[in-house]
Amino acid sequence: MPLRVLGVDPGLTRCGVGVLDAGAGRGAHLVDVGVVRSSPDDPIDRRLLAISRGLREVIELHVPDVVAVERVFSQNNTPTVMGTAQVSGIAILLAAERGIPIAMHTPSEVKAAVTGNGRADKKQIQTMLVKLLGLSGPPRPADAADALAIALTQLWRGPGPVRLDAAGAARTSAQAVWAQAERSARHARESSTSRF
């Protein structure tokens, strides 16, 4: 089974999610891309619950081998940073509950991996994703494209804090057994009803 990565672009209103399978060489295959949303009109507890439920659904549906999250960095807008950090924590916790290794990548690292330029803008990233993944157009909204870029960075550059070998050696034996069972079930589901 190919290595599957879930990329997460944390955000409180729109949390980008992108799932890629490793292909031959530096190839990658799109599995799913989108956003998990919460309403700005809801109180923070309801918003975080909505994001948590959406991320849990994506993880359970696609059973990633690694969850790669954009590392939160300091901005002048403290409320935005707080919301982003809270959503990052949810993604990390959901992965940890399932024994899925996590990795974190800075925005400049993601830009450099995808475009070769650590200062690339969103349009440049989207253009490269279209070329690299053979898409008909850039994923929308931008949060979804950013999540794919994070997943692609993980496939190409490996970790943040966790590196997996081809056999998933960073996992405990129990985690490896669980992951293999989940991959087998996923493969059976995808064989019977493919979405793509």
32 part of the active site: no
- Catalytic-labelled residue, pool 9, 65, 146, 182: 9
Query: Any binding-site annotation on 70?
Result: yes
Nearest CA-CA partner of 10 in 38, 42, 41, 45: 38
Beta bridge partners of 9: 16
41 part of the active site: no
- Catalytic-labelled residue, pool 65, 143, 146, 182: 143
Beta carbons within 8 Å of 98's beta carbon, 6+ residues apart: 59, 178
- Catalytic-labelled residue, pool 21, 70, 146, 182: 70
Beta carbons within 8 Å of 20's beta carbon, 6+ residues apart: 4, 5, 7, 28, 29, 30, 31, 133, 148, 151, 152, 155
Query: Any binding-site annotation on 146?
Result: no
Residue positions forming the annotated binding site for Mg(2+): 9, 70, 143
Residue positions forming the annotated binding site: 9, 70, 143
Q: Active-site positions? A: 9, 70, 143
